[in-house]
Amino acid sequence: METGDDMTMRKKLLICLGVIIGGMMLLSADMRHLSAFEIQIGSRMLDTRKPMVALTFDDGPHPGITDEILKILDEYDSVATFFIVGERIEKNSEILKEMIRLNCELGHHTYSHQDMSRLSESELKHQLEMTQNVLNEVVDPQYVMKIARPTFGNTSTSLLNYMEFPLILWSIDTRDWSHKNKDKSVAEVLMHVQDGDVILMHDDYQATLEATRILVPELIQRGYQLVTVSELFTYKQIELLPSRIYKSAHSMVS
């Protein structure tokens, strides 16, 4: 028969065992948090050992398209990079605020969609400064864009001589602006995607929105993490430098 002392001893042992198990669980959680390969960004947990790609959208924002793309990204706890046109900022400020809230990245695409390669140094500077100034005035006074995408993908020797930002091209072109067909955009990405890709789309077409609905969950299902351009290059340990052209985190032009 179990005595009172035996029962007391058993309770003490159970308590000690519970403390030990609890401590091990906390230690395990701390070890996960301190992992050298895992990075917490807001609600996202990135693993730098796993494949990453950057979805990018040009020429926006456009109501009814860009805001719906943001909802998809939010649903799947993912982000993208938006190369914005400055003259579209003021009327779409709430969409841009949502981009920033979701930790998406904003990049330069000129104020009025001018061909950067044909602009003088002063003209280019004016286009970029106007865009940054309007963004700070009506969206977020603290946000500073740190990358640019040349309109039409055009570059020139003169542009490289005075561009103060890294120029981001792409490794996968969906050509959504040409065919406006969601299935073709999806096929182009899924047939060619690899770790480190920068994917070009435009957030002013309904077909692009529909393609995004398919691509985001499918890329995640295939093991890709959807990150911003700056995140992609940072975690691939590639420094983005002014006046240099980058196509992907596995291919740099110059």
Answer for the pair 97, 140: CB distance below 8 angstroms, yes or no. yes
User: Tell me, what amino acid is at 182?
Assistant: K
Q: How do beta strands 38-41 and 44-47 pair?
A: antiparallel
146 closest CA partner among 135, 157, 159, 158: 135
Which SS3 state, helix, strand or coil, does residue 58 take? Answer: strand
Instruction: Quote the CA–CA distance of 105 and 87 in Å, as a whole number.
Output: 18
**Bridge partner list, 44:** 41
Q: How many CB atoms lie within 10 A of CB 54?
A: 27
Residue owning tokens 């939010």: 74
Active site residues: 58, 202
Instruction: Quote the CA–CA distance of 135 and 115 in Å, as a whole number.
Output: 21
DSSP 100: H
